[in-house]
Structure formats: C-alpha cells, structure tokens
Chains A and B, each alone.
Chain A
Amino acid sequence: MKKTLYHTALYMGLAVLAMVFLLPVLWMVATSLKNPVDDTSLALPSKPVWGNYAEAWRTGGFSAAFFNTMFIGIGAVVISILAGLPMAYSFARYRVRGRGALSGSLFALRILPEMVFLLPLYAMYRKLGLFDTKIGMILAFQIITLPYCVWLLRSFILQVPVDLEEAARVDGCSEWLVLWRVTLPVIAPGVVASSVLSFIAVWTSLLFPLALSYSQSQTVSVTIANFKGYGTFNWPIMAAASVIATIPQILFFGLINRYLVAGLTMGGVKE
C-alpha cells in the first residue's frame, strides 16, 4: 500500500515535469496550424491550416537558408573530421612534445566567447572577400567544430584497446593503415556521433552567421530571427518556420541518443 502511494507520487512528479517541458513545444505546433485571426493563447486550432508551412517555407528566403545551412554544416563537418581524426588519434596514442599544452588550449577554446574570434574574422573577411560566402562560413565554423571533434574523437579512441592496434603493427601495418583499418572501424559510431553533434552546432548557431553573413550565406537561425522583424507579426507563420527548422535536429538527436552525454560534456565523463 505504502509502495503504491510512493510510486504514484513519483509518477505525479514526473508527469508535472514532463508537462512543463513539453507544453511549450506542443503549443508551438498547435500555433503553427492556426489562422492568424484565431485565439493565440491556449485553444486548439479550429481547423488545421497546413498552408502555413508552405508559406513559411516561401517567406523571407527560408528555403534558401535551409539548403545553405545544410551545405555549410556538411562542409564544416567533413573538414573537421578529416583534420580532427588524425589529431585526436595522435593525442590519444603518441607522446608528442607539447601535446598537453595543445589539447589543453583546444579545450580552452570552448570557454572563449564567440565575439573574440568574430570581430577579427569580420575585419579579415571584409578585406579578403570572404564575408557572406559559404566557404567563409565553413572555414569560420572550424573554430567550433574542429576542437569539438578532436575532443570527442579522442575520448572515443581512448576506449579502444591498444592491443588491437599493436597486433596490426606487428603484422607490418603502417601508422596510417592502423588508424584507417583498425581504429576507424571500431570508432565508426563515435565518428557518426561527432559529425552529428558538430552538424547540430552549426545548424543552431546564431552569432556566427549573424556576424559573418548577410544574404548569400544566411542560415536558418538568422532567418528565424528575422521573421520577428517583419511588419506583420504573424505568429502561425513564425511557429511553422520554427517547427521546420527543428525537424532535422530532432531526427539527428534520435540518431545519436546514446552519445548525448558524451556530446554535452565533450567526452568529459564516462557513462
């Protein structure tokens, strides 16, 4: 009897918490299906207006920004993995002089406020003609994604038993082959997780595209932010755009659910 009561109390607590965190999201989805003249507060939409999604997609360059962000995100992740994987391997396996200082400063980058990089980059980009270009954005995002990938990949590599690599070395594999043929297949899920987490970092970033792009390389975040600046304050369209922008993130999160804690702590604590 006492046990049932205790369990009921726990369920009640969980249900309240779940409501607090879920209701705003559900409200957004409901709002995205309303007419602009509908009651904005709590009522459900009288009749779902799916056209809001089509209109959001067409408004304010949203569709172009969507594909821009995909392109920039994938570009940034590819470079970060290609450059970051060997560095992570080196940090995990070799006694390279200055390694501690180097990996320490990569971590320190996580602490620095974005504006420290963005102001000098802005001046540089204006002079070099990289301002408002996709390649400029891809390069700038390395500031976030490269250290992130190196730290995450390193923590995945450290979990691979060294014996496996030693065996390959005894069989005459070169160091490149050991990394390519032995370590990489074992940490493949880690590579996927690092890529997805880095992509999400690009997808959600606001300050980088705000500072370094204008129209040609604008991303989803900036477009969403700009919706609020348009004359007609159209809640359903804003909500619809927000939902579209969030869908890729939800799909990706589903993919790497297992590695979320590693992602949030840059591999700092082990599950």
Chain B
Amino acid sequence: MAAHSTPKWFRSLICPGYVFIMPAIIITAGLILYPLLNGLIVSLHQWNWVSSGMNYMPFIGARNYVRLVHDPYFWNSLRHTFYFALGALVIEFGLGMLGARLLNAGLRGALLFRTALMFPLMVSDIVAAVAWKMLLNPSMGPINTILAGLHLGKPNWLGNPALVVPALSIVDAWWQTGNLTLILLAGLQTIPREPMEMAKVDGANSIQLFRHLVWPHLIPFAKTAVAFRVIDLLRVFALPWGITGGGPGRASEMAQLYIYAQGMGRYLDIGYSTSLAITFAIIVGVSVLVLFGRPHGEG
C-alpha cells in the first residue's frame, strides 16, 4: 500500500493532530516567538533612535542590564506597581467576597443587584481613567464636593505624592471588584445545600460553617481569581497613564509606564527599554509562580 512507502515521521506529521495546530503555530511563530527572541537580541545592543538613529546598533553585551540595576527610576516604578497592586487586591478581594456573599443569600432581586455590582466591568480601563480623573478633581470633582459636604476637607488626591497611588488602587477597585464578585459567586453556587443544612441543624455557627464548608469549596475559585488579578494589576498601564501620567513628578509612575516612556513613548531608547521589559516580564512571571504555582491544571 502506498501509505507504507511514506516515511513514518512524515505520516505522523500529516495526522490531523498536527495539521490542526499548523495555522495557529505559524501565527504564533511570526508574531509571538520571533518578536520575543528578537527582543532578547535587541536587549544586548545599544539601539537609541534619538541619539544615533535606527541603523546604528552595536553589540554591548549585558550593559543594558547593568544599567537597569543602577536605574533608580526603574526600581521606583516597580515599588509603585507592587504597592498599587497590593492595595487594589486587598480592597477588591474584601469587597468582592462581601458582594458575593450578599448576592448568594437568596434574596429577591439579586439579579438586579448583580448587574449593578458588575457594571464597571463593562467600562474599559481608559474610560474608567477619564471618568475618575474628573471625579477626583480636587476643586470641581464630585468626590471632593461630597467630602467637603461631610466636613472631611478636600484632599488633593492626584496632586499629593502620598495619596496618588492609594487613589489609583481605589479606582482599580471600583473598576474590577465585580470580577472577584462574579468568580467568588460562581464558587459559592457550587456548594451543595445538604451538608450546609445538616451542619446548621447540628448547631454549627456561621464562622465554623465558613471555615469548614464554604472556604474549602471557594479555594480554587479564589486562587484563580486572585492569580488573574495579580497578573493584570502588575501590568497596569491605562489607569496611571490616563489619570496622572505617572505624576506628580514620578510619584505614580508604574513599571509599564516607565518602560513605554523609555521606548516608543518618548526617548526611543529601544535597546534599553527592551531590557527593562524583559526584566519586568521575569519579575512578573516569578511573582506569579511563587504566589500560585501554575494557575491552571493541565488537562
């Protein structure tokens, strides 16, 4: 038979399992793999389009990486990023858990409230940024109008270096708490009713119920939700870029904001900014691995 004369490796290549992945592999190779490898090479070159043009690109070994170790602005931006992420995560998880439990209490009209709680998810981050830039405006913004009405003063949210990162965390919490609420609610809804009823009959209090029945069910949901939030929080760009532009001074400059400014955003120092991006990618990857292991079970 003809099939037997073709070599075995060739037959295994044309089996549908491989053919099916080919289109995606080609796209991945050209648009993902090639740029990534190219980036690694670029990061080992001096390539500054402003000072010496696109065509001057000498190999300088690891000197970009040595430079970033001594770049205080880069480490500053990292500190702001983690500070921002931690603040936002704490608020989002707390409010998300509260929202999920309230929505799961079996009240009439819960669906309506669910829509209200997840509404900010339907707004893009740059629209959220534009909105909150106005809302937090110290003199004309409604937030300070309310605070002044309660005799709480008019804090300069976006102009005070000590307040600006927490303010951004609060904006992110407004934008993404619904994310946590939805996933935790999905988790709560998987809990079977019978053991809960039985435990209640046996006189378990609500803290015991939560610790022994609810929480074990919620763990995989909480872990996945938090993992995705951490990934997206560390990569934050649109909120600080749209609200403060990293200011005042550099008080709210986050990692991707700084990398963007060093690269196509401002200084066109492509070699150096690429080394920053790769270093930041490793930092995010390691943080996520340390915190969560592999977030997905492999099937």
**Are these two chains actual partners, yes or no?**
yes
A residues with CB within 8 A of B:
7, 10-11, 13-15, 17-18, 20-22, 24-25, 27-28, 31, 40-42, 79, 82-84, 86-87, 89-96, 100, 102-104, 106-124, 126-127, 139-140, 142-143, 146, 150, 158, 175-176, 179, 203-204, 206-207, 210-211, 221, 224-225, 227-228, 235, 238-239, 242, 245-246, 249-250, 253, 260-261, 264-266, 268-269, 271
Cβ < 8 Å to A, chain B residues 178-236: 178-179, 182-183, 186-187, 189-190, 220-221, 224-225, 228, 231, 234-235
Taking A14-B107, A143-B31 as contacts, is the C-beta distance between A27 and B183 under 8 angstroms? no
Q: Which of B32, B146, B224, B276 meets A117, CB within 8 Å?
A: B32
Q: What would 27 A/B residue contacts be, using CB atoms closer than 8 Å?
A: A7-B107, A11-B107, A17-B116, A21-B174, A27-B131, A89-B20, A92-B299, A93-B17, A111-B281, A115-B263, A116-B36, A116-B281, A117-B32, A119-B259, A120-B39, A204-B124, A206-B241, A211-B260, A221-B238, A238-B134, A246-B127, A265-B224, A265-B225, A268-B228, A269-B183, A269-B186, A269-B221
Decide yes or no whether B161 CB sits under 8 A from chain A: no
Q: Which residues of chain A are near B296, meaning CB under 8 Å?
A: 107, 266, 268
B residues with CB within 8 A of A:
15-21, 23-28, 31-32, 35-36, 38-39, 42, 47, 54, 95, 98-99, 102-103, 105, 107, 110, 113, 116-127, 129-135, 137, 140-142, 145-146, 174, 177-179, 182-183, 186-187, 189-190, 220-221, 224-225, 228, 231, 234-235, 237-238, 241-242, 255-256, 259-260, 263-265, 270, 273-274, 276-278, 280-281, 284-285, 288, 294-296, 298-299
> Which residue of A has the minimal Cβ distance to B124?
A204
Q: Are A83 and B256 touching (Cβ within 8 A)? A: no
Q: Are B24 and A264 touching (Cβ within 8 A)? A: no
Q: Are B130 and A271 touching (Cβ within 8 A)? A: no
In the complex, which of the residues A89, A117, A179 has the most CB atoms of chain B within 10 Å of its own CB atom? A117
Known A11-B107, A238-B134; 18 more pairs at CB < 8 Å: A15-B113, A18-B116, A18-B117, A21-B174, A21-B178, A25-B131, A40-B137, A94-B15, A113-B256, A113-B277, A115-B256, A116-B278, A124-B35, A143-B31, A225-B238, A261-B182, A264-B179, A264-B182
> Which residue of B has the minimal Cβ distance to A15?
B113
In the complex, which of the residues A21, A103, A204, A224 has the most CB atoms of chain B within 10 Å of its own CB atom? A21
Q: Are A115 and B125 touching (Cβ within 8 A)? A: no
Interface of B (DSSP majority class): helix
Taking A11-B107, A116-B36, A268-B295 as contacts, is the C-beta distance between A224 and B284 under 8 angstroms? no
Shortest CB distance B272–A (Å) = 10
Q: Which residues of chain A are near B277, meaning CB under 8 Å?
A: 113, 115-116, 119
Q: Which residues of chain A are near B17, meaning CB under 8 Å?
A: 90, 93-96
Q: Which residues of chain A are near B105, meaning CB under 8 Å?
A: 10
Q: Are A79 and B235 touching (Cβ within 8 A)? A: no
A22→B16 CA distance, assembly (Å): 50
Q: Which 4 interchain pairs have the tightest Cβ spacing?
A: A94-B17, A204-B124, A86-B20, A18-B116
Q: Which residues of chain B are near A104, meaning CB under 8 Å?
A: 294, 298
Q: Are B23 and A82 touching (Cβ within 8 A)? A: yes
Q: Which residues of chain B are near A110, meaning CB under 8 Å?
A: 231
Shortest CB distance A14–B (Å) = 5
In the complex, which of the residues B28, B177, B265 has the most CB atoms of chain A within 10 Å of its own CB atom? B28
Taking A87-B20, A122-B264 as contacts, is the C-beta distance between A18 and B113 under 8 angstroms? yes
Q: Which of B98, B116, B140 meets A22, CB within 8 Å?
A: B116
Q: Which of A112, A118, A146, A269 meets B224, CB within 8 Å?
A: A269
Q: Which residues of chain B are near A106, meaning CB under 8 Å?
A: 28
A83→B28 CA distance, assembly (Å): 10
Q: Which residues of chain B are near A117, meaning CB under 8 Å?
A: 32, 35-36, 39
A17→B121 CA distance, assembly (Å): 15
A31→B132 CA distance, assembly (Å): 13
